[in-house]
């Protein structure tokens, strides 16, 4: 073993916990309105939201709210507590009611019906990193909306190594909403 290899074995990464993350915000290490999320124990800075990304999130939010009414809660760019080292902020989350249960805590994997990532400048990170986080904690369904390509990819069948099923959805006129039986979403005017 060379001295370089020996040096590398001594280097260890420190993974922050969700508790550490909130303490950093409380003491001012992280600015309270900073656009960051905690992924695998690392504080990840999110890029600014572009106009195409923003309007896509807004349109999907409005459509989801109309479709689900009181059957679910639509959360926009808010944290989902996935575990000790993960608290990402998906663009949209469809979670189980009542809203009152989220007054003292963020939704957890068992609360989530659907997570949606709108990918404009973050496609590779959303696909290669965040999807893995969601699969490991058994989020039942994740949609990846690619703004530039104007595509919707649906991921189902979570397991510790990823999702077992991935389908590109061509027909956006009537999408079933996960966990809500007969509720259908109409995204045909999204693009």
Give the CATH number, domain containing residue 131: 3.90.1570.10
**What are the pLDDT digits (tens) for 19-38?**
999 999 889 898 877 889 99
Q: What is the pLDDT of residues 83-135, one digit of tens each?
A: 999 999 999 999 999 999 999 999 999 999 999 999 988 899 999 999 999 99
In a domain, 77, yes or no: yes
- H or E stretch including 168? strand 162-169
pLDDT (0 to 100) of residue 176 = 84
Q: Which residues contact 145 (CB under 8 A, 6 or more apart)?
A: 56, 60, 116, 117, 118, 119, 151, 152, 190
Q: Please report whether residue 3 resides in a domain.
A: no
How many other C-beta atoms can be found within 10 angstroms of the C-beta atom of residue 16?
A: 17
Tell me if 26 is assigned to some domain.
Answer: no
Question: Quick check: 1 pLDDT over 60?
Answer: no
- What's the domain count of the chain? 1
Residue 27 covered by a domain: no
On whether residue 22 sits in a domain, the answer given is no
CB count within 10 Å of CB 48 equals: 8
Q: Does residue 177 lie within any of the structural domains?
A: yes
DSSP characters over 5-62: HHHHHH--PPPPPHHHHHHHHHTTSS-TT--EEEETTEEEEPPPPPHHHHHHHHHHHH
Judge whether 162 lies within some domain.
Answer: yes
* Residue range of the domain that includes 95: 49-185
Is position 166 within any domain? yes
Q: What is the mean pLDDT of the chain?
A: 90
């Amino acid at each position: 073993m060379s001295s370089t290899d020996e040096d590398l074995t001594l280097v260890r990464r420190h993974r922050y916990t969700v508790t550490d993350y909130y303490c950093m915000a409380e003491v001012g290490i992280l600015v309270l309105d900073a656009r960051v999320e905690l992924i695998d124990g690392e504080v990840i800075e999110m890029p600014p939201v572009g106009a195409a990304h923003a309007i896509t999130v807004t349109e999907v939010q409005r459509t989801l709210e109309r479709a689900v009414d009181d059957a679910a809660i639509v959360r926009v760019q808010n944290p989902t507590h996935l575990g000790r080292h993960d608290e990402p902020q998906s663009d949209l989350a469809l979670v189980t009611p009542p809203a009152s249960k989220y007054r003292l805590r963020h939704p957890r994997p068992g609360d989530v019906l659907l997570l949606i990532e709108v990918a404009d400048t973050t496609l590779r990170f959303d696909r290669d990193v965040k999807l893995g986080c969601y699969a490991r904690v058994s989020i039942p369904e994740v949609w990846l909306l690619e703004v530039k390509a104007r595509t919707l990819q649906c991921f189902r069948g979570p397991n510790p190594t990823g999702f077992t099923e991935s389908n590109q959805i061509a027909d956006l006129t009537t999408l079933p909403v996960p966990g809500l039986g007969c509720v259908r979403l109409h995204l045909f005017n999204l693009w």
